[in-house]
Structure 1
């Protein structure tokens, strides 16, 4: 009993250590980007506000994933177009993340965060009113802009408030997304089975209003790093980057619409995308205030972090986005059943993320990342086998239960890997935490965009969509294992952080 009591004491102390003993007051107005000082009690409310925003974003992604089969029939569109309701959202997220990170560092975290809430809420209402698939895609793109600004601005807000002990708090972001992953599919399944798909977007509106009201009053102000007239947005760089990614995505979509042969238009779009990307890199090297600091991307540890996030994003989004579709075409499940299918994964991810976040400094970063990759890979491989009506020792497993268990395994893997991967990136350049969070998030979301588009392309070659999804999951499983060598290129700075925190006075 004494050992158990000591373990519980350590758990409680680790959770309480999220809140620092004192929050530094800003030393002077010239100290760029420093927080003005947050009272200890207020940090709870600060975390609650940003957590609610991330929860809204998490609900929105998973609720739409459940809706894909319904969009196909109600909006009379093909899979390549319906896929853009996810791809367009992810794409605009990836564009806005590094910009929001930079603006959060320079304009102030609170200002960027509240603008993101307004954009997300208004576009959610508009998406619910969309008359056809094309307008729905447009409003989803705008919605993604608001959602993409949440993570870097929220990371900056929490990092300012929690100081040196930010790692557990930021690690808990994964649990928040997991809660959204629990609520989203079940809300979506219930709404689609009983009402209209339009209400899956309307549910964001009251949450957005609450965020705006409380965020205005509770979130502390943060100082800007420059005077307003001196701030510039890299419009040219942003245009080149958007053009490059859009050209590649349109090429993939055009290819998916005509899988029998790759036409001239497709190759031209790929060529345009490649050319614009080269021009983007050259422009970013020369401009005074780049959208992305390319010198960071040439630094091997930072490059390794973003290669990891790109591939991980491609697999994670590809896995999550199309599980409901796979369950529908392979097992004939309803929207409500699809919601239940995703729930154990989200619960497991939430619990495991919370535990990993508490012990993240002790576990270090590399070991959790590798264990997580292996578990997700195993989950994907088992999903690719297409098991039906399995019985073990005479005990039969309903297909819904079987799929839920296999998908839950991926949630456990993500819960182990995500806190370590997130903090490993932020520890590389702690003085630019919001900008790093933006670039890291952009790499992961761009990976998701490419992964989602690639799934629709590969499926266009299969008359049997279930068989196509099984082959895709096999490929994803082996792709994840290729990331393990990349992990060893990422500095494991958790050891140094542990020593530093251990030497801090109470």
Structure 2
């Protein structure tokens, strides 16, 4: 990788880390926000859920926008939006305004995650798996250290600082990206003299509205059921509305001239569909562990918050160390071996959780954390490599956005899974059942990895 490519990777990396950093950093601020705004835990938890929902929706839409209007433009616009959200969020007069700026922050950072992968796909044509491993270090590293940074900031300052800290990162990233991201190629369509109706068809406004309202209804139904602890008529109706609208979205996309998500193209490349399903399941596994282990340690085993944080570092550190190794390995051998080993490690880690009991030394959880950390590093690089290899170049933006939506859907489903298994209180029996369910999901991933045809080094399509 030449010097220009390295600077491009640093520029893009500083932008894309803002999304995972802000999704994980704010979790430490929940107790403080409860006190400041006088809210219960269910209400204040929407500071997290709103970010996940907005990111899930925004990423494929911004990917589509980048395919149409230029990836550099969308990436730089994302930085501007993130700057505005980070600047005004600390000034929020109430919690409602804070949620609005939080959603705006999710949209801005989502622009960069979806488009950043596409920029790498287009402009770095050699050793793409190595390039992906660098992006994975930014993404995984930000997610891993987010809670630590959030804890330090909240301890020494206050909750507004978790937004203010983004401002210097955004400014540095903007200057680097302005200089290092190549200018967009000429657009493939003629914008002059285009009627409003043609613009709507080009952007697929109808598809975007169906996708947004349908996914919001679906996720609100699921998350409201989790927050309330039971399934009400409201939850059922909201879920059914969401499913109906998403079905209408699928029918619309099959007929649209310029669809938001080109389903017919996806049908021609089934590996694109499989990799999104696998990535969602991988994140169900990873975040079930990510959210479940701290609760197990603190509630069941009565381990302190500080000791829990130290133990959880093994998860993030193993992922960080594995990512660059995975990049070099996949450049040589293809993604299939790495993904198969990853699935086996997750299976072993899940089985290890089942063997834990209430007298097992707490250090033993590190075996599961290490297994999942290594598998996460392999997955982040390997599955992006498969996505790049299976996606046509002209739709890589929307394909990248949908891929990242799969990540957030997996995260949300993991939270729902823990809530369903545990009921109203986290306990050892529920944790044991959770380990069994994760083992079954991991075994499914082993089967899915084995069915993937053997592929070699990534090629520029």
In which range does the TM-score fall when normalised by the shorter chain? 0.7 to 0.9
Which of 333, 357, 371 is the equivalent residue of 2:327? 357
Change in Cα spacing, 1:67 to 1:385, as seen in structure 2 (3 Å) is: farther
Q: Secondary structure at the match of 1:146?
A: helix
Which of 85, 92, 109 is the equivalent residue of 1:147? 109
Which of 203, 207, 210 is the equivalent residue of 1:233? 203
Which of 228, 233, 242 is the equivalent residue of 1:273? 242
Question: Is 1:436 equivalent to 2:406 in the alignment?
Answer: no
Q: Secondary structure at the match of 2:257?
A: coil
Structure 1: tracts of 5 or more residues without a match? 1-18, 20-39, 392-398, 502-506
Equivalent residue, structure 2, for 1:54: 16
Contact 2:326–2:381 (CA under 8 A) maintained in structure 1: yes
Change in Cα spacing, 1:71 to 1:489, as seen in structure 2 (3 Å) is: farther
Moved over 6 A (4+): none
Residues 108-119 of structure 1 aligned to structure 2 (within 5 Å): 108-119=70-81
How far 1:196 sits from its partner (Å)? Answer: 2.2
Bigger radius of gyration among the two: 1
Which of 376, 382, 387 is the equivalent residue of 1:425? 387
The CA deviation string for residues 398-434 of structure 1, in whole angstroms up to 9 with x for no partner, is x4x5445532321111112221111111101242333
How far 1:272 sits from its partner (Å)? Answer: 0.8
Contact 1:55–1:180 (CA under 8 A) maintained in structure 2: yes
Which of 214, 218, 222 is the equivalent residue of 1:244? 214
Counterpart Cα distance in 1 of 2:299 and 2:164: 28
Contact 2:330–2:457 (CA under 8 A) maintained in structure 1: no
Contact 2:295–2:426 (CA under 8 A) maintained in structure 1: no
Contact 1:98–1:435 (CA under 8 A) maintained in structure 2: yes
Residues 198-209 of structure 1 aligned to structure 2 (within 5 Å): 198-209=160-171
Q: Please report the RMSD computed on the Cα atoms of aligned residues, expressed in angstroms.
A: 2.9
Which of 73, 84, 99 is the equivalent residue of 1:137? 99
Q: Secondary structure at the match of 1:301?
A: helix
Change in Cα spacing, 1:434 to 1:149, as seen in structure 2 (3 Å) is: same
Contact 2:229–2:424 (CA under 8 A) maintained in structure 1: no
More divergent stretch after superposition (208-217 vs 337-346): 337-346
How far 1:378 sits from its partner (Å)? Answer: 3.0
Residues 296-445 of structure 1 aligned to structure 2 (within 5 Å): 296-299=265-268, 300-321=270-291, 323-332=293-302, 336-383=306-353, 387=357, 390=360, 399=362, 401-432=363-394, 433-445=396-408
Change in Cα spacing, 1:365 to 1:136, as seen in structure 2 (3 Å) is: same
How far 1:305 sits from its partner (Å)? Answer: 1.5
Question: Is 1:172 equivalent to 2:134 in the alignment?
Answer: yes
How far 1:144 sits from its partner (Å)? Answer: 1.5
The CA deviation string for residues 123-165 of structure 1, in whole angstroms up to 9 with x for no partner, is 2334444455544433322221122221221122222322243
Q: TM-score, normalised by structure 2?
A: 0.87
Identify, as 1 or 2, the structure richer in helix: 2
The CA deviation string for residues 428-469 of structure 1, in whole angstroms up to 9 with x for no partner, is 12423333212222222223233334434554x233456545
Change in Cα spacing, 1:386 to 1:225, as seen in structure 2 (3 Å) is: farther
Residues 25-44 of structure 1 aligned to structure 2 (within 5 Å): 40-44=2-6
How far 1:226 sits from its partner (Å)? Answer: 2.5
